[in-house]
């Protein structure tokens, strides 16, 4: 028996998804970007990847701080590897391998007699320039992407867990339970979301998880409606009755029978929810109600850039990055929707 005994219908859907080139390549690139962002410390970091110094090897990326004294400086704080690299150049006592972008998103790189922002410069390895307080724009973009994508992934998982289970329960049990939750949701969805965020962030400074929690409070609703409808539909089909006739419990009917048949609805909505999560975080950050400074974020870069339009590299890089990511996610979403379109292949045939 094969390990992955995929339903041929599912294989068919995957095949069609692959045949939609735009969406399939977007999916590959997007997945790569997410995976790469997990290893961002090795690509964008002020710490060196490898240091060989006086016969000793150091790998500072993920370890503890290596104080300057250990690598021949007079200071006790963390070694500046860029300076170390310059110092070791030409000497035979060792070498330093820096990441492609040798800045972390928090450090300010200032120059004498000049005020940031500095324009892009290959010489300084600020490929996208620096922002208004001298932090590297590329580094903040990369780490901001990582924050945004994991923010929306966590939001997605939790809000779908809540939305799918409440929606499935509403559709399955119907009656008073359904009626009650419909009214609760209607009232709930009329609370203006932005005001709640403003009130909450004026009381406390939200961090990553509290921000997820706040958005979650309103974010579970959307999936609930779809799940409710589709569960109503599936519940009325005879295979559910057959399972009930065999003596299957409600739990078994919902999880073994109904949910697998609603999976295409859930999958279809995932890319659009990811895009929504990114947009939500970015706009909150832009308005200043999001993650506290100095967390790298696209919204914060966007607001800096729009306040300093003469430093066009800030606003243009964040807009290009956002557009590319959102367009890719939308392409993926389109392709999935197309591949799962029930008109193309129906299980009723």
Partner 1 sequence: MEILKVEELKMHFPVYGGIFYRQIARVFAVDGVSFSIEAGKTLGLVGESGCGKSTIGRALLRLYEPTAGRISFEGKDITHLSGSSLRELRSDMQMIFQDPFESLNPRHTVGSILEEPFQIHRWGTPLERRQEVLRLLDRVGMPADSVHKYPHEFSGGQRQRIGIARAIALKPKLIICDEAVSALDVSIQSQILNLLVELQQEMGMAYLFIAHDLSVIRHVSDQIAVMYLGRIVEIAERDSLYKNPLHPYTQALIASIPVPDPRRRKTFTPLQGEVPSPLNPPPFCHFVERCAYAQAVCSQQTPQLSSIDGSDPSHRVACHFAGRLSHK
18 lies in the binding site for partner 1 (CB under 8 A): no
Give the shortest CB-238-to-partner 1 separation in angstroms.
4
CA atoms within 13 A on the CB side of 131: 29
- Binding partner 1 (rule: CB under 8 A), the pick from 8, 55, 90, 192 is 8
| CA gap 143, 90 in Å, rounded | 33
Give, as one character, the DSSP assignment of residue 97.
E
| CA gap 349, 35 in Å, rounded | 40
Query: Residue 328 belongs to what H/E stretch?
Result: helix 312-339
Q: Which stretch binds partner 1 (CB under 8 A): 67-75, 159-167, 239-247, 332-340?
A: 239-247
Select 203 or 245, whichever has its Cβ closest to partner 1.
Answer: 245
1 lies in the binding site for partner 1 (CB under 8 A): yes
Residues in the chain: 349
55 lies in the binding site for partner 1 (CB under 8 A): no
At residue 136's C-alpha, the angle toward residues 133 and 139, to 5°, is 135
| CA gap 217, 223 in Å, rounded | 13
15 lies in the binding site for partner 1 (CB under 8 A): no
- Binding partner 1 (rule: CB under 8 A), the pick from 3, 187, 204, 246 is 246
Residue linked to tokens 């997605």: 156
- Binding partner 1 (rule: CB under 8 A), the pick from 50, 184, 242, 327 is 242
267 lies in the binding site for partner 1 (CB under 8 A): no
Select 32 or 184, whichever has its Cβ closest to partner 1.
Answer: 184
Strands 56-58 and 50-53: antiparallel
Size of the site for partner 1 (CB under 8 A): 26
260 lies in the binding site for partner 1 (CB under 8 A): yes
Structure tokens at 84: 């170390």
**End-to-end CA, the chain:** 27
As beta bridge partners, residue 108 has none
- Binding partner 1 (rule: CB under 8 A), the pick from 36, 52, 243, 267 is 243
268 lies in the binding site for partner 1 (CB under 8 A): no
**Interface mask toward partner 1 for 58-87; x: CB under 8 A:** ------------------------------
Q: Tell me which residue of 340, 312, 348 sits closest to 12, measured CA to CA.
A: 340
Give the shortest CB-19-to-partner 1 separation in angstroms.
21
21 lies in the binding site for partner 1 (CB under 8 A): no
Q: Which stretch binds partner 1 (CB under 8 A): 77-85, 155-163, 257-265, 290-298?
A: 257-265
Kindly identify the residues of this chain, within the stretch 145-184, that bind partner 1 according to CB under 8 A. Answer: 179
Give the shortest CB-220-to-partner 1 separation in angstroms.
25
Give the shortest CB-295-to-partner 1 separation in angstroms.
42
Count Cβ atoms within 10 A of the Cβ of residue 54 and give its class: 0-12 exposed, 13-18 middle, 19 or more buried: exposed
Give the shortest CB-311-to-partner 1 separation in angstroms.
55
Structure tokens at 62: 């993920």
| CA gap 282, 295 in Å, rounded | 12
Kindly identify the residues of this chain, within the stretch 179-238, that bind partner 1 according to CB under 8 A. Answer: 179, 237-238
Structure tokens at 312: 């066009």
């Amino acid at each position: 028996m094969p390990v992955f005994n995929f339903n041929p219908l599912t294989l068919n859907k995957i095949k069609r998804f692959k045949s939609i080139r735009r969406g399939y390549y977007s999916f590959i690139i997007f997945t790569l970007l997410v995976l790469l962002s997990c290893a961002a410390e090795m690509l964008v970091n002020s710490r060196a990847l490898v240091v060989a110094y006086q016969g000793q090897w150091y790998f500072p990326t993920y370890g503890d701080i290596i104080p300057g004294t250990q690598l021949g400086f007079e200071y006790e704080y963390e070694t500046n590897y860029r300076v170390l690299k310059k110092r070791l150049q030409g000497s035979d006592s060792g070498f330093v391998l820096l990441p492609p972008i040798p800045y972390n998103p928090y450090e300010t790189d200032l120059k004498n007699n000049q005020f940031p922002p500095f324009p892009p410069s290959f010489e300084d390895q600020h490929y996208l320039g620096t922002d208004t307080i001298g932090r590297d724009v590329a580094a903040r973009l990369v780490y901001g992407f990582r924050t945004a994508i994991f923010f929306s992934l966590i939001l997605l998982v939790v809000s779908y867990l809540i939305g799918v289970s409440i929606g499935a329960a509403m559709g399955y049990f119907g009656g008073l339970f359904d009626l009650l939750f419909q009214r609760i949701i209607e009232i709930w969805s009329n609370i203006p979301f932005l005001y709640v965020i403003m009130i909450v962030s004026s009381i406390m400074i939200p961090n990553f998880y509290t921000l997820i929690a706040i958005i979650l409070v309103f974010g579970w609703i959307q999936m609930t409606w779809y799940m409710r409808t589709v569960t109503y539909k599936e519940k009325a089909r005879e295979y559910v009755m057959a399972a009930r006739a065999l003596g299957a419990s409600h739990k078994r009917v919902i999880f073994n029978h109904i949910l697998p048949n609603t999976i295409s609805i859930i999958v279809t909505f995932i890319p659009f929810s990811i895009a929504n999560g990114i947009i939500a975080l970015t706009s909150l950050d832009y308005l200043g109600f999001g993650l506290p400074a100095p967390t790298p974020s696209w919204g914060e870069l966007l607001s800096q850039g729009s306040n300093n339009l003469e430093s066009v590299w800030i606003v243009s890089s964040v807009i290009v990055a956002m557009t590319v990511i959102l367009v890719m996610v939308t392409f993926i979403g389109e392709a999935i929707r197309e591949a799962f379109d029930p008109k193309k292949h129906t299980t009723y045939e």
